[in-house]
Structure 1
Amino acid sequence: MRNGRRYGAHRRVIAMRPVLETRAPGDFSLWPVAEGDASRFTAPSGNLTSAEVGPALMLIARCDDVDPGPGVGDDRAAAPGRPARVLPARPVELTAVELRRLLDGVGRDLAGFLALAAGWVRLHLSDHAEPVIDVLARVLAVPANGGTQPTS
């Protein structure tokens, strides 16, 4: 109790999701991408529709200079050191356990997206599927086998 009020009666709910800001495809030509909103946010996970996977992969390809050519993936560096923006509405205090739980959830979302995207890539980019999937796994820092913890 503080100042006569009971705290803790309302449990706070904190969610953490990976998010991509998708944009209109413009001159993107590596695979067909439908024209969409000029800008919107997509949370990559295993729950996206097939129509949402192509634009999400387009954004990742644009940001990470992915090219599904014959040598794709041969000399690409992993991207785990790239900065990420975290934009809380207000400062948040978390225990290490709470933070690990949130990060594990992000890992599960990204692993689900990788599994979904791998199927999409095999269907739409069949000639280059495995190298593209390998690059995507490195960019997302998720093992291609779908686990949430990177393999060593």
Structure 2
Amino acid sequence: MIVVQPVLEIEGADGFALWPVAEWKPFTFMPLHAALSAAGVGTAVMTVAAYNQWQADDEAAPTRSVDPVGHFVRALLDAEDVQAPGGLRVTDTARGAALLPGCCSGLEEWREAWFDLLDGSGHAWLGHDPSPLAERHGDVVRLTVDAGRDDSPAFEVAVDVLRRGVAGAERDLAGFLGTAAHWAAVRLPEHAPELVGALARAVGMPPPTRQPKAAGPREPDPGEEDEHPGQRPPAHRFVEDERPEPHGHDGKEVADGGRVVRSLVGDDAHRRVEGDVRAQDAEDGLGVSLLPRAALAHHHPGVVVRKMRGPEPVRAVHTAVREASPRQPPVRGLLDALRDVVARRTATLALS
């Protein structure tokens, strides 16, 4: 399975106090998508603004004490060539290999690099140290994690599969910009239009077409925990390359133009859907989705919830256990309990 994500390299936030930011391990990559929390967006904005400080006008230094926030973001707002460390991360989950952006690779150049690979020269420069290499050979793209190593992992992806993954990454960036626009309207209203425009240039995208209302990114729900506090569950674009899975596949299959598309749904999928809805609202003025009531115990105040009627939708829940797995009494006990609940519920409905 191939996963393509736009990522931003975070250098760390020690001592930063101009707005809330997330704790993030320095020099690792943060995926950008519509469902980032306010702290996650704050971390991304901090990173891009700090990365462009070299373009600052030294004569503006006296304004620092008067407007420290404005002084910090001014270099980003005024820069003609905004830069952002990162790019597209391509992961082959079946092999456990990932192609990461190298040093000097920028998100602002992702479009030129990847579309030149797919439709142009067939080669993409993606940075150095490590030195990721992407080469097209006919209908296949070979991705080498670090071309500077003789023993570097490498994997191949069908061109059509990679193209769909890149398109998904583009949608994730559009969603991120929509969420960032809401964040800017709340945190930096006096700089919001300029800031969103600068962020759009930094990630190689057009800015959102609609100015957001002051709803802002969602804050963590009460009692909710995250592996990374500033990151909402990412809106991954999973792309199946139609090769047989070596150890089976957990997920569902749906028909799409004569081929089988496998999609994974986890217990956090509803948050990715909500993030997509909000991103679509920011972009086009209306985002709509259908979610089970159990997934809406806590939702963003900017999302309106309405019950479906006439007729009410019915959701079928299926469980699957891999045949090759050893017998697991706790799992079997859980399944028996679920069957018992369904049987009692069905009997109650029949009598009512």
Do Structure 1 and Structure 2 share a fold, with TM-score over 0.5? yes
Q: CA deviation at 1:138?
A: 0.6
Question: Do residues 131 (structure 1) and 233 (structure 2) align?
Answer: no
Residue equivalent to 1:32: 19
Contact 2:33-2:173 within 8 A present in 1 as well: yes
Residue equivalent to 1:68: 73
Cα RMSD for the two superposed structures: 2.9
Contact 2:22-2:43 within 8 A present in 1 as well: no
Alignment gaps of 5+ in structure 1: 1-12, 147-152
Cα distance in 1, alignment partners of residues 189 and 11 from structure 2: 25
Q: CA deviation at 1:26?
A: 3.0
Q: CA deviation at 1:61?
A: 1.5
Residue equivalent to 2:323: none
Question: Do residues 51 (structure 1) and 56 (structure 2) align?
Answer: no
| Aligned length in residues | 132
Residue equivalent to 1:150: none
Deviations, residues 18-53 of structure 1 (Å, cap 9, x unaligned): 222334323546x31347244354211001111211
Contact 2:22-2:42 within 8 A present in 1 as well: no
> Which structure 2 residues correspond to residues 71-150 of structure 1 after superposition, within 5 A?
73-77=77-81, 79=83, 80-81=108-109, 84=126, 88=145, 90-145=153-208
Q: Structure 1: which 4+ aligned runs deviate by more than 4 Å?
A: 82-89
Question: Do residues 20 (structure 1) and 20 (structure 2) align?
Answer: no
C-alpha spacing 1:84/1:61, structure 2 compared with 1 (3 Å): farther
C-alpha spacing 1:34/1:138, structure 2 compared with 1 (3 Å): closer
Q: CA deviation at 1:78?
A: 5.2
Q: Who wins on radius of gyration, i.e. which is larger?
A: 2
Cα distance in 1, alignment partners of residues 167 and 48 from structure 2: 21
Instruction: Compare 95-104 and 117-126 and name the one that shifted more.
Output: 95-104
Contact 2:33-2:172 within 8 A present in 1 as well: yes
TM-score scaled by length of structure 1: 0.70
Cα distance in 1, alignment partners of residues 162 and 45 from structure 2: 27
Helix, strand or coil: the match of 2:9? strand
Contact 2:177-2:208 within 8 A present in 1 as well: no
Amino acid at match of 2:188: L
Cα distance in 1, alignment partners of residues 51 and 167 from structure 2: 24
Structure with greater contact order relative to length (CA < 8 Å, sep ≥ 6):
1
Deviations, residues 82-138 of structure 1 (Å, cap 9, x unaligned): 774557483122232112111111111111111101110111111111111111111
Helix, strand or coil: the match of 2:109? coil
Helix, strand or coil: the match of 2:81? coil
Helix, strand or coil: the match of 1:94? strand
Helix, strand or coil: the match of 1:68? helix
Contact 1:46-1:115 within 8 A present in 2 as well: yes
Alignment gaps of 5+ in structure 2: 56-71, 84-107, 111-124, 133-143, 146-151, 210-352
C-alpha spacing 1:72/1:78, structure 2 compared with 1 (3 Å): closer
Amino acid at match of 1:116: T
> Which structure 2 residues correspond to residues 2-13 of structure 1 after superposition, within 5 A?
13=1
